[in-house]
Structure 1
Amino acid sequence: MTVTETARTSSRAVLDRIESVTLSSITLPLPNPISDAKVFTGRQRPMTEVAFLFAEIRTEAGLEGVGFSYSKRAGGPAQFAHAREVAPDLIGEDPNDIARLWTKLVWAGASVGRSGASTQAIAALDVALWDLKAKRAGLPLAKLLGAHRDSVRCYNTSGGFLHESIEQVKDNATRTLESGVGGIKIKVGLPDSAEDLRRVRAVREHLGDGVPFMVDANQQWDRSTAMRVSRRLEEFDLVWIEEPLDAYDAEGHAQLARSLDTAIATGEMLTSVAEHYELIRQGAVDILQPDAPRVGGITQFLKLATLAEHRNLGLAPHFAMEIHVHLAAAYPIEPWVEHFDWLHPLFNERLETRDGRMRLSDRPGLGVTLTEQARAWTVDRVHVDAPR
């Protein structure tokens, strides 16, 4: 008896079977090189593209789900290679059993760990399974999960990078607010902290007192610099100070969180529930910023959301707003979603922003489909439709 035949006889409750998985490695070029503090401190080169791993899962009943993960700078080919190895293990499975399938895929590649590139590869498959499940129900993903709201506060990051002059950042902020986005985040963490403070002051004066305003140091301060500069930043009435320290310095973040009135936000660079739990356990974060594609998908994100809610933490998922607007809408405590316009060329649909909030659409699942341009940017592709 084949693996597929065994699966078919294992349960009378099976609703459908996975027939095929298509994986695509798509490189999104950015219009201009992007620089945050990591470039100015010499740790990275300007970013010119983003590598995406897309998974399209089709069932015998003709349903389709799409999911994605991504890598900025290195790592995209590794994600694609790992997904290519484990995807055959989905063929013949019931796509509704998402938690079990996540565990199966993790154990298929257990020798390379339960975080990092391996689980980021699984994330694309996991997101596609959730998209498929919501489409089967005829519901937006947020409604399948159980939404607390039909719109989410949103703030923009893509207009506040350090490669642009402060005048350009202010112009970007004006256009962003006019488009219906509610808050503005800019990058800090320059080698010259005085220049950081000058830029923050200029933007706050430009925005006025009523506009939500955040800053992001991208892990470029040591503990003493973070404490000194963050105390100076308190006067600007910020919603949060993001990644003031190395992502794994839970103790240092905890010291800041205890010492400052301004909230500390971090978590986007972590790639597992266990890593986030250490931040939560030590009281190192006021606003958790998990990234579903980085932590292994929606299945793992939901575990983190439960832990965060238990501690009454704020939530502001990182990047990938097409996924995170649904997850934020299902979080009990009023969250934030990060608005990035970089991904617009990949999808036919647009998320609506109005009155400072990002609106859920009524489209089933994630509510997105790939553009022809996205498919033209495909650099590798594999179609899996039979068990190993």
Structure 2
Amino acid sequence: METGALTLRSVTARAVVLKLKRPIVARIMTIPDWPLILIDLHTDQGVTGRSYIGPYQATSINYLLPLIRDFGSLFKGQPVAPADLYARARKSLHLMGYSGMSMIAVSALDMAAWDARAKAAGVPLCVLLGGSIGPVHAYNSNGLWLAEPAAVGAEASALRDEGGFGALKLRLGRAQLRDDIAAIEAVRNAVGGDIGLMADFNQGLDMAEALARCHAIDNLGLAWIEEPILYENFSGCATLAAQLKTPIQIGENFYGPRDLADALAAKACDFVMPDLMRIGGVTGWLHAAAIAGAAGIPVSTHLYPEFSAHMMRVTPTAHWLEWQDWADPVLQRPYAVKDGMTQIPDVPGAGIAWDEAAVKRHAFEA
């Protein structure tokens, strides 16, 4: 196993915009097209580390590309040591602040650096991190947006069958509470009571409405209620967590491990689901998972199932992997799901490589 030093030569960042098979329709947003930034970290030794991030809106590409490319210039000639790069990248943005796009750019660099290190070692990322290859328990999060209850019920069966999933995520926040309840019932009728069902309000409620709606669905057997109110309202989340039997899930908007620690200190949730793009990539995830593990809090993932699957293999309180195939159109070998389990390929690194013809077709000119 070769684990010699790598030296950063350059960082390439490109953008694509992909058409979603099932457009995102939530209370706070509608997204028909999914932007991705593809990162290639090149080394003097010929090893290329890869990662990608999804900044939700194509306009964000114009701000993130220069920031990511600047890291390539800033760290040219430096060792590809992910923990060191993570610390130095954050320090370089100290005056801008550690949240928002600053952390997103750091995360993009960090994931690519870890991918390069695993490739240089000739092992999958989870093995480099001290774990082993194995399947990861996943739920399908590719649909069940704010459509009519009948349409949601029909879609649920298709989502279950896409990979033999044992759990699905349903979005809530329709104009009328009764329609949300009807959607839950439609999914149950379509797939049966043995399928786990997560519910996500996508931060769409104010506190008064959250109290009413969450209590109304508290006895419907949901696996969790996700982000009912604005993500930074930890005190409001704590009120809901204290009053409800159904676990409260938050975390996709934690900008770094400190946010996770603050949320747990506030008793704002029962579960957490960090997002690799915001938590600080692999390095930030490892810090966050240790905090959650020490507190005994189950950890699920948000987006980026390829990297996230590896992280779940080394997370002490690993819970659920959120499965989305939104990046598949530009991947040479998309990950597979069988019997509701994400399959990690036995290849060095995170196991992602670009389909360059597809990248060219979907290229976004920033």
- What residue is the counterpart of 2:361 in the other structure? 376
- What residue is the counterpart of 2:5 in the other structure? 15
Sequence identity, in percent?
A: 27
- What residue is the counterpart of 2:24 in the other structure? 34
Structure 2: 5+ residue stretches without partners:
none
Measured after TM superposition, the shift of residue 166 of structure 1 is 2.7
- What residue is the counterpart of 1:93 in the other structure? 78
| 1:106-156 residue CA offsets vs partner (Å, 9 max, x unmatched) | 222322211111121122111110101111111111121123671121111
- What residue is the counterpart of 2:181 in the other structure? 197
Q: Which amino acid aligns with 2:214?
A: S
Q: 1:334 to 1:149 in 2, by over 3 A?
A: farther
Whether contact under 8 Å (2:8, 2:75) holds in the other structure is yes
- What residue is the counterpart of 1:80 in the other structure? 65
- What residue is the counterpart of 1:5 in the other structure? none
Q: Which amino acid aligns with 2:174?
A: L
Q: 1:32 to 1:157 in 2, by over 3 A?
A: closer
Structure 1: 5+ residue stretches without partners:
1-12, 39-43, 382-388
Q: How does 1:295-334 map to 2 (within 5 A)?
A: 295-334=279-318
Q: How does 1:160-309 map to 2 (within 5 A)?
A: 160-162=144-146, 164-178=147-161, 179-309=163-293
Structure 2 residue 47 is matched with structure 1 residue 63: yes
Aligned counterparts of 2:52 and 2:193: Cα–Cα separation in 1 = 38
Secondary structure class of the residue paired with 1:106: helix
Aligned counterparts of 1:130 and 1:375: Cα–Cα separation in 2 = 26
RMSD of aligned Cα (Å): 1.9
Whether contact under 8 Å (2:150, 2:183) holds in the other structure is no
Q: 1:78 to 1:358 in 2, by over 3 A?
A: same
Secondary structure class of the residue paired with 1:204: helix
Aligned counterparts of 1:169 and 1:308: Cα–Cα separation in 2 = 34
Measured after TM superposition, the shift of residue 100 of structure 1 is 1.1
Whether contact under 8 Å (2:36, 2:55) holds in the other structure is yes
Secondary structure class of the residue paired with 1:87: helix
Whether contact under 8 Å (2:249, 2:272) holds in the other structure is yes
Q: TM-score normalised to the size of structure 1? A: 0.88
Q: TM-score normalised to the size of structure 2? A: 0.93
Residue 332 of structure 2 is aligned with which of 322, 345, 348?
348
Q: Which amino acid aligns with 1:272?
A: G
Whether contact under 8 Å (2:225, 2:247) holds in the other structure is yes
Aligned counterparts of 2:318 and 2:257: Cα–Cα separation in 1 = 21
Measured after TM superposition, the shift of residue 202 of structure 1 is 1.7
Whether contact under 8 Å (1:86, 1:108) holds in the other structure is no
Aligned counterparts of 1:181 and 1:343: Cα–Cα separation in 2 = 19
Q: 1:76 to 1:60 in 2, by over 3 A?
A: same
Aligned length: 361
Secondary structure class of the residue paired with 2:79: coil
Q: Which amino acid aligns with 1:169?
A: V
Measured after TM superposition, the shift of residue 160 of structure 1 is 0.7
Q: How does 1:88-167 map to 2 (within 5 A)?
A: 88-95=73-80, 97-147=81-131, 150-162=134-146, 164-167=147-150
Whether contact under 8 Å (2:203, 2:230) holds in the other structure is yes
Per chain length, whose mean CA-contact separation is higher, i.e. which structure has more relative contact order (CA < 8 Å, sep 6+)? 1
Aligned counterparts of 1:147 and 1:194: Cα–Cα separation in 2 = 45
Q: Which amino acid aligns with 1:318?
A: H
Aligned counterparts of 2:183 and 2:156: Cα–Cα separation in 1 = 13
Structure index of larger Rg: 1
Whether contact under 8 Å (1:17, 1:93) holds in the other structure is yes
